[in-house]
Amino acid sequence: MFQGLQKSFPQYWTGIYLRFLSICLVYGALVHCANILSLGDVSWLETPLHWRLMDIILFIFNVITAITLWFQSFYGIIAFIIGIIFLQVIPYTLLRQYFLINPEDIETLNGLVGTEILLITILIILIVAKK
């Protein structure tokens, strides 16, 4: 089913965009690593358990997906789209109450979800576009 897509992949601009996404994911991995190392305002062990679990899961996801996108792997693209939807968009919209401490956090989550949707949309447009 996906073999035709794999053979025609990646187009020039799609390849550049995949490298850009890879760099974004490395940044995300560094943020989660900093959280785990308690380099932020709050000690990691003082955060809720589900936040710590998400830091670990998202760190692993970001590292693996960044590597696969850097090498322009078709499976990296699938992992990116599915991972972003299930690890960020759905939790930060449907389970939002678990990730809010301050009212200002709503804007942060909205910005994050909007950015993730924009990144996925651009990727899909590049894949669908002929050239």
Average pLDDT over residues 123-127: 94
pLDDT, position 76: 95
End-to-end CA distance of the chain: 21
pLDDT category at 9 given cuts 50, 70, 90 is low
**84 closest CA partner among 105, 109, 58:** 58
pLDDT of 13-69, one tens digit each?
999 999 999 999 999 999 999 999 999 888 999 988 988 999 999 999 999 999 999
- Per-residue buried b or exposed e for 69-107, using 16+ beta carbons within 10 Å of the residue's own CB: bbebbbebbebbbebbeebbbebbeeeeeebeeeeeeee
Give residue 130's pLDDT. Answer: 66
pLDDT band at 94 (very low <50, low <70, confident <90, very high): very high
Each domain of the chain, given as residue ranges in start order, spans 14-128
Q: What is the pLDDT of residue 1?
A: 42
- Percentage of the chain exceeding pLDDT 90: 68
Mean pLDDT across 68-73: 95
How far apart, in whole angstroms, are the C-alpha atoms of residue 114 and residue 92? 11
Given pLDDT bands bounded at 50, 70 and 90, which one contains residue 122?
very high
